[in-house]
Amino acid sequence: MAILIVCLYIGLIEEKLQKNSKPVLGLCAIVLLSTYIISVGDNLLYTQESVSETESKVIELTENENNKGIYLDLYASSSLYYAYKGRYAINRAVYMLLWYMDWYEKDEIDDLFTYNPKVVVYDEEEDAWVYTHYAPAFVTQLEE
- For the stretch 41-56, pLDDT in tens is 777 877 767 888 888 8
Burial (0-12, 13-18, 19+ Cβ within 10 Å), 104: buried
Confidence class of residue 15 from pLDDT cuts 50, 70 and 90?
A: low
Question: How many of the other CB atoms lie within 10 Å of CB of 76?
Answer: 15
Question: What are the residue ranges of helices labelled H in the chain?
Answer: 2-16, 21-44, 53-61, 81-84, 98-115, 136-143
Dihedral over alpha carbons 79, 84, 88, 93 (to 10 degrees): 30
The answer to whether 118 and 62 are in contact (CB under 8 A) is yes
Q: What is the pLDDT of residues 72-91, one digit of tens each?
A: 888 788 888 888 888 888 88
Rounded to whole angstroms, the Cα distance separating 60 from 54 reads 10
